[in-house]
Structure 1
Amino acid sequence: MAGLALGLGLAMQAHAQSITGGLYGTTAEQGVTVEVTRPATGFAKTIGVNQNGQYSLGQLSPGVYQVKILRDGEVLSTQTVSVVANASSAVPGQNDTAATDLGTVTVSASHWQTVINPIDVSTPELSTIYTADLLADLPVSQNSIYQLARLDSGTAMGERYAQIGGASETENRYYYNEFDTTYDVTGMGAIIFPQVAVASTQLITGSGGLGWTSTTGGISSATLKQGSNEVHGGYSLYYTPPTSSLLRPQGNTVVNPATGRPTLMQSYNRYGHGASHYVWGSGPLIKDRLFAYVMIGANEGNDYTTYNSTGRYTGDSDRREGLINLTWNITDDQSLNVAAYKTRDESLDTTESNQTSEWQPDQTTYGSPANSWLKRDSKLVVANYNWRINDDLRWRVMGGTMRYDYKQTIDTSGVPYITSYDYSTNITNWISAGHEWEPLNYYYEKDGVKSDIVWNMGNHEVTLGGEYYRNNYYYVPQSNSAGYMGYELNGSPGWIWTGTQWQWNTNPNLMWDYTYTGGGAFKSEQRGIYLYDNWQVSENVRLMYGGRWDQMESFNAAGEGFLDLSVFSPRVGLSWDVNGDSSLKVGANVGRYTLPMPSTLAYLVGSTTTYLVNYYTVDGINADGSPINAKPLYGYGYENLTPEMAAVSSRNLENTVQNEFQVYLQKELSRGWSFLGQAAFHDLKRIVDQTCDTDGRIGDYVRANGHASYAGLGGGQGCIEFNPGSSIVLRDYLDGGDALQDIAIPNSYLGFEKAKRRYLKLGAQLSHQRSESEPYYFNLSYTWSHRYGNHDGYTNLLRSTNANPGISGNYQFLENTYGSNGNLSGDQRHNLVATGVYYFDNGFRVGSVLRYASGQPMNCLGHYPGATAGTTLGNAGAAFHYCNGEVVSSNKYETDSLYSVDLSLGYDLHFGANKSQLLSIDVSVTNLTNADAVTNRNRTSTSGFDSTTTTGLRPNVDFNTVTGMQAPRSTNLYVRYSF
């Protein structure tokens, strides 16, 4: 049985991030050769064995291969093995009685499709591989790669994306056919393919190999389906019914009893049906040499109506997509794969403002609608070339390009945006139905190339490679040029801050207007070089060691570079085949990791920006929305502010670094059963973030140290990128004029702690692979983890802000850091996931995903104690770790524990000649019990200063009220036909 672990395949090779796989094995026969064939593509290759009887063959297209041991033309044994991308499958020896007895298990495609964590002694890297067929039988999303992380107990799910390995949602990388499709504007999400086009997906939750683009989060790598000599085709329908009490109930509405007003309103929301159609086909264009896989898709329906306190929002969307994937086997040693994919999404979104009643959609009337039409296009082309130069030398090249375009048109151009809020009724009205922003058009494009060469030198396999990615990003937001303004009516008399002094105001009616422009075309570049050796130290031990150098540069809209960061990352991994038969493996990895800085930072700190807000007192509102007797009160902001790019970042800035440690054990238990136990520790040592001179401390230091005329930070909005805990080396016009000078501001003066994020993980997994005699797949995974420190990472989960890597808000003031140490958001101590599918003889099958996750900590934020309105700290608002004037531990508040039961019932009907046609029908239900755990609460304890005193604080009456809940039950119908 022990040898079966290798025979069942899917083992990872040293070459990661590849659309090809490999195989290897051992024979006790002397004077033999090995013939590897794949009838589906006409592939045939004869290789030799070394003095120890070992053989291997890489750069194989995914599929089923026959491996024959021959002596003088006589076949001594034949084995069948399945190869998947990014993996090396081990061939059972002809003398392995266990493998021979279970030969049908090894051959059975239904078996290897359920081997997600094979025992692979050829590499120290640990990963999970999900095949398309297994995922189709489980109640998981059939349209998104993001949801696969839910199947791993080592992940914590965010709003949409996974927090993997203790990292935030913007630190993951996504690949298709080796090309990094991650949306590097923010680092959140990617251009993705529908799962119907994906053959297999690999998930790495930490300690990835040197061949991967460096990241401090997780890696999801998918390989697209390919054609062969066999002609196949099919149709798939993924249908989601509209809102109903049984199949798709509405979410809850939660009311704050102190105010009688909802803090979460979902019970009025309604969603229409959604239907995704896919037609696909594959086969040979030239037998044995050129193959194609083609897919076209359409998604229709998806209309919605949602509500909040101020309006009603309706819309619908439509999607079209197409894929062609060509595979050219130039020779049996050379292949070229080219995939091209294009999508178009079109939607109409309509906004209507409340006119008569707030939070009561069934009792209100609505104003004139404002319509917005969106067109979103994406396209991707990626090519992969592989050449097996000889038995000891392999070369591969990947090149790709992708682009995402967003185009908006509106029906209210030239119409101002004007709202009013009445304190006496708590009603918000939309006086003029313009949009807040001018129509937005932006694009993001990425080009990338990667190449490496692998040289086998006896017991050493040396890999040398490099990669280059260029990101271009165009974004020019502008507020409504016809006017962006609002009224605040029937307010109480009180003190108001005019920008320079306090003034008692008795006029109950105020008006404000807002102007914003900024943006441009931005660019960033990423380069990487890696070198490593996979050394067979002894018969049972492999050591993988090497290093990786990563460089990233960022440029502003004028083409000026302002970040140039490099990191060298050494890594070492060990694989020990304890018993020498792959029945027990011990693996370990130690290494340093970094990740690219997303392009949005260039926009946030490198734009020429106008930001103006003006307040007026008014006596009323004219019928056309213009003010009656407007008198200027105060204003603030800046106009056409161009940052000095030299002052945007500290001269000693270094890129983010995280050290990762991993040790694990895999053991074959008995027929079809295996065990995995692992421990990991991730330690964030450094991060890129921002501090500002809002409180004047940086300027004060410069003026006190020889530059008395220093005007203040010339960087983006008076802020600078730095490494928390390190000194700042500022380059700016310290003495005025046009001469840039440097000055070092020590951290002993700044007082910031180093950024810390530590993640400890202990996990265990028990798996059963499907066989003919035991027709079920089962996987039980449990993880205990602890995430603690003072920094969430590239997404600030604490403050629930948008993904703005490099600008967390944690260091605007020194006082922001007080109380920041403790359990971090996403610190989910217990996570249990059970997945399984049982296959009945009559064609029925039942699949399920059961998940339990303990609650996550929530912080409390409030105003800084003792600060008064109008002061620097007072104007910062509720941005500090204080509640009721005291520092509050991050684990005082916690979300609910979450459990979910997902269930699918399917039926497979084989019919036609040789049962070659298949009709599959599935009903899939997520959150079967309609559990409604609380996933988020209002974290702000104070709402502002008492206007009658300017010093007292008003408590936030909505503090700790519910703002997020578990998604309600949803049902899907899947119909698939293939031949």
Structure 2
Amino acid sequence: MVNQIHNYLSDANQRPALDGENRTRGWRIDLEYRLGDHDIKGGFDRQMLFTTTGSASANLDEFGGEYLYIVDPSGANPLGLVQRTRIASGGNYALLLKAAYLEDNWQVSDRWLAYIGLRNEAFTNYNNAGEPFMKQAAQWAPRLGLSWDVNGDSSLKVYANAGRYFLALPNGVAVRGAGGSLFTTQTFTFTGVDPTNDMPLGLTPIEPVQSANAEFGQPRDPRTARIKDLKSHYQDEFIVGADKQVTDDLTVGARAIYRVLKSQVDDTADSRPVCRFMVANYTDYSSYDQCVEDFTYQGIIFNPGKGAEFDVNIAAPNDPVELRHIKLSSKDLGFPDPKRKYASLNVYAEHPFSNNWYGRVDYTWSHSYGNTEGQVKSDIAQQDVAASQDWDFPEFMNWAGGNLPNDRRHQFRAFGYYQLTPEWLVSTTILAASGRPKSCIGSWFVDEDGRYTDPSNLYMTSANAGGAYHVCYGTPSPRGAKGNLPWTYSLDAGVTWSPAFADHKLSFTGTVFNILNTQRMTVYEERAQGGPVRNGSNGGNPLAVYKRAIDYSTPRYFRFSVQYDF
């Protein structure tokens, strides 16, 4: 059993963000040259993104952190125990993006158009001290396309495209991955509760301060933040489609998309392979067990499924940096290859604007599956981009494969508008989508005494820890194994007035979204078990919030807009 007191955390109210700010500074140059049947374009761009961000426990200075009252599993303290969590992070961060591109739109014949392009991108991330801690350069992204005008009159077009797309890590990854962040827990006995503010009295610690990623607030050497030769997150995309003009009033078409993740970036916090390497190659620790117990490993940003070469700091927090070089194979790290695939087929029918009306109906079948979403983990609403819990320990990835959280197998959309008069237009949109997959996340399997366990021996030790393993009360539970959430529906309608006195260039539009105010659960709590899981003594707790709604479809709302077309 876990009880919360009123100054405990809530992302909305109890961990106020710093006064955040995002700024952009950059330039771009594009050149174009016509050479016979070739339309050649090239250019350069440079963009700098500046971010001020962060958050901290409310009243950290006054109360010392956030508190949870928990039952003492040993029964030695009738009042129970209290766990204190202290969180503080943030600063000023920057991201530099540079790119150059060259492309050729080649009119091969009167019916064939080919597109050939190449883009080279470079990313540099800076920590809150203004030091670069990640650089990726010479990232070549080819783009190919082909279009066939079958009949030569644009009545039937067939096309195909292929491309590679790189994604930079956002500034937020530096907050915990490369900054001097604080995230600690500590458990105490207590003698009473202050009736004026619910704060515990007479605190006596029963364990040292704990931090899953050694986040004790100390500055971090940028050399220890990421592996050597880190590859960016990127995916390949393939598209094939066709558009057919059936009559002057009807066009139909289909488009298929296939995307496959080729490289993933995340962080890992597993000290076990690091300690095996250190004991085999250095003399800082006399044994593997001593290393696991004493080494304050801060984790590393890496490419899951690949080997890793990096530096670690073996000095105690706030002591001078003392580096050790680590080289681990993918087998040493023990992670599977990251997998994410997306396939979709869209079919549509469209009535172009004529006889005062326009309409289009779409149906999309899609399937998103694999063992990772990419840079986020929306199934537990984790907001740490490229620093999710997924790759912290190999056991977290067992049975992680399946339908991903954004897998909505069926989607329907109908949109249309009618021109009542030259001044008045009405429109409507109908949307319907199947629900996202449901999963169950909990502790690891039971030990010989029937207690659930935590192979990391760290991640779920705190009382406020949620489930981390794809195991649901002792049964393997892959992603999406619990079915799907309900379908969502929405009916929108709008009206636009374009007065003649402004030559119909000025428009006033009022739109009501979700007219029927349908409310469906779109995200639910998937963690069925929580901490504290302490191997050999406590097997965690069932979470009463399991299956609780986290988010609903957007309720009915109204939007008014004004537009002027120059």
- Superposed, 1:109-120 pairs within 5 Å as none
For residues 656 and 910 of structure 1, the distance between their equivalents in structure 2, rounded to whole angstroms, comes to 49
| 1:672 paired to 2:253 | no
Matched letter for residue 872 of structure 1 = L
Residues 443 and 453 in structure 2, CA contact (< 8 A), matched pair in contact too? no
Q: Which residue of 2 aligns with 1:872?
A: 458
Partner SS state of residue 258, structure 2: strand
Q: Which residue of 1 aligns with 2:491?
A: 901
For residues 184 and 381 of structure 2, the distance between their equivalents in structure 1, rounded to whole angstroms, comes to 25
- Superposed, 1:240-389 pairs within 5 Å as none
| 1:440 paired to 2:12 | no
Residues 509 and 619 in structure 1, CA contact (< 8 A), matched pair in contact too? no
Residues 65 and 87 in structure 2, CA contact (< 8 A), matched pair in contact too? no
Q: Which residue of 2 aligns with 1:728?
A: 308
For residues 759 and 439 of structure 1, the distance between their equivalents in structure 2, rounded to whole angstroms, comes to 35
Partner SS state of residue 899, structure 1: strand
| Deviations 1:860-906, CA, capped at 9 Å, x for gaps | 111111344793365265111111211113232311011222223x3
Q: Which residue of 2 aligns with 1:708?
A: 283
Offset at 1:513?
4.7
Residues 575 and 586 in structure 1, CA contact (< 8 A), matched pair in contact too? yes
Q: Which residue of 2 aligns with 1:761?
A: 344
For residues 216 and 469 of structure 2, the distance between their equivalents in structure 1, rounded to whole angstroms, comes to 29
Q: Which residue of 2 aligns with 1:573?
A: 145
Unaligned runs of 5+ in 1: 1-420, 496-503
Residues 184 and 216 in structure 2, CA contact (< 8 A), matched pair in contact too? yes
For residues 813 and 658 of structure 1, the distance between their equivalents in structure 2, rounded to whole angstroms, comes to 24
| Deviations 1:204-249, CA, capped at 9 Å, x for gaps | xxxxxxxxxxxxxxxxxxxxxxxxxxxxxxxxxxxxxxxxxxxxxx
Residues 396 and 469 in structure 2, CA contact (< 8 A), matched pair in contact too? yes
Q: Relative to 1, partners in 2 of residues 1:856 and 1:597: Cα closer, same or farther, differing over 3 Å?
A: same
| 1:883 paired to 2:472 | yes
Which residue of the other structure, out of 543, 552, 555, is the alignment partner of 1:965?
552
Residues 648 and 716 in structure 1, CA contact (< 8 A), matched pair in contact too? no
Q: Which has the larger radius of gyration?
A: 1
For residues 963 and 646 of structure 1, the distance between their equivalents in structure 2, rounded to whole angstroms, comes to 38
Q: Which residue of 1 aligns with 2:165?
A: 593
Q: Which residue of 1 aligns with 2:288?
A: none
Offset at 1:521?
2.4
| 1:787 paired to 2:362 | no
Q: Which residue of 2 aligns with 1:508?
A: 79
Residues 708 and 735 in structure 1, CA contact (< 8 A), matched pair in contact too? no
Offset at 1:741?
5.4
| Deviations 1:2-40, CA, capped at 9 Å, x for gaps | xxxxxxxxxxxxxxxxxxxxxxxxxxxxxxxxxxxxxxx
Q: Relative to 1, partners in 2 of residues 1:799 and 1:973: Cα closer, same or farther, differing over 3 Å?
A: closer
For residues 622 and 427 of structure 1, the distance between their equivalents in structure 2, rounded to whole angstroms, comes to 12
Partner SS state of residue 649, structure 1: coil
Offset at 1:599?
0.8
Residues 606 and 716 in structure 1, CA contact (< 8 A), matched pair in contact too? no
Matched letter for residue 730 of structure 1 = F
For residues 634 and 661 of structure 1, the distance between their equivalents in structure 2, rounded to whole angstroms, comes to 54
Residues 755 and 790 in structure 1, CA contact (< 8 A), matched pair in contact too? yes
Q: Relative to 1, partners in 2 of residues 1:578 and 1:564: Cα closer, same or farther, differing over 3 Å?
A: same
Residues 509 and 620 in structure 1, CA contact (< 8 A), matched pair in contact too? no
Q: Which residue of 2 aligns with 1:777?
A: 358
Unaligned runs of 5+ in 2: 286-290, 447-451
Which residue of the other structure, out of 317, 326, 333, is the alignment partner of 1:743?
326
Larger deviation, residues 943-952 vs 851-860 = 943-952
Q: Which residue of 1 aligns with 2:73?
A: 494
Matched letter for residue 655 of structure 1 = S
Q: Relative to 1, partners in 2 of residues 1:447 and 1:929: Cα closer, same or farther, differing over 3 Å?
A: same
Which residue of the other structure, out of 98, 104, 116, is the alignment partner of 1:545?
116
Q: Relative to 1, partners in 2 of residues 1:847 and 1:554: Cα closer, same or farther, differing over 3 Å?
A: same
Matched letter for residue 895 of structure 1 = L
Offset at 1:623?
4.8
Offset at 1:651?
0.7
Offset at 1:453?
1.0
Which residue of the other structure, out of 491, 515, 538, is the alignment partner of 1:928?
515
Offset at 1:824?
0.7
Matched letter for residue 688 of structure 1 = V
Partner SS state of residue 769, structure 1: strand
- Superposed, 1:455-470 pairs within 5 Å as 455-470=33-48
Structure 1 length-normalised TM: 0.50
| 1:482 paired to 2:62 | yes
Residues 429 and 493 in structure 2, CA contact (< 8 A), matched pair in contact too? yes
Structure 2 length-normalised TM: 0.84
Q: Relative to 1, partners in 2 of residues 1:458 and 1:548: Cα closer, same or farther, differing over 3 Å?
A: same
Partner SS state of residue 604, structure 1: helix
Which residue of the other structure, out of 223, 226, 249, is the alignment partner of 1:649?
226
Partner SS state of residue 863, structure 1: coil
Offset at 1:952?
4.2
Partner SS state of residue 505, structure 1: coil
Residues 522 and 553 in structure 2, CA contact (< 8 A), matched pair in contact too? yes
% identity of equivalent residues: 26
Q: Which residue of 2 aligns with 1:817?
A: 397
Partner SS state of residue 134, structure 2: strand
Q: Relative to 1, partners in 2 of residues 1:472 and 1:735: Cα closer, same or farther, differing over 3 Å?
A: closer
Residues 426 and 493 in structure 2, CA contact (< 8 A), matched pair in contact too? yes
Partner SS state of residue 641, structure 1: coil
Q: Relative to 1, partners in 2 of residues 1:935 and 1:699: Cα closer, same or farther, differing over 3 Å?
A: same
- Superposed, 1:226-241 pairs within 5 Å as none
Alignment RMSD (CA, Å)? 3.5
| 1:850 paired to 2:427 | no
Residues 7 and 67 in structure 2, CA contact (< 8 A), matched pair in contact too? no
Matched letter for residue 227 of structure 2 = S
| 1:451 paired to 2:24 | no
Q: Relative to 1, partners in 2 of residues 1:429 and 1:656: Cα closer, same or farther, differing over 3 Å?
A: closer
For residues 47 and 496 of structure 2, the distance between their equivalents in structure 1, rounded to whole angstroms, comes to 45
Matched letter for residue 465 of structure 1 = G
